[in-house]
Amino acid sequence: MRDEWEKLPLYKKAMEIEKLVEHIVKAVEQTDIEFEKEIQAEMIQRNLEYLRKNAMIIPAKVAGVANDGTIYDLRMENAAIIRKAAR
């Protein structure tokens, strides 16, 4: 069953996005940015965590709706979560 959703183009793209976000997060974390206020550094860190979290949600939800046996309501709920995470 796992092989089915791993072959889906949407799942593959979600995994690419997750990898891209991880590279972006690492690049930002490794830069030597000088902040005037501590709150600026905290805001950047929270945004990075937000990006990482949402990038991980997308492939999980795509895999959850890939099964034809999944009920329609659950598919639509996952689709809404995917859309929100992608924004």
Compute the C-alpha angle 43/45/50, nearest 5°.
95
Each residue's pLDDT tens digit, 43-80: 999 999 999 999 999 999 988 887 777 788 888 999 89
Q: How far apart are CA 5 and CA 71, in angstroms?
A: 16
- pTM over 0.85? The answer is no
**CA dihedral of 22, 28, 37, 87, whole degrees rounded to 10:** -50
Helices (H), the chain: 2-6, 9-30, 38-65, 72-86
Residue 2 has pLDDT above 70, yes or no: no
Q: Where are the domains of the chain?
A: 2-86
Position 70 scores a pLDDT of 77
The tokens for 23 are 């590279």
pLDDT band at 35 (very low <50, low <70, confident <90, very high): confident
Q: Is pLDDT at 1 greater than 60 in this prediction?
A: no
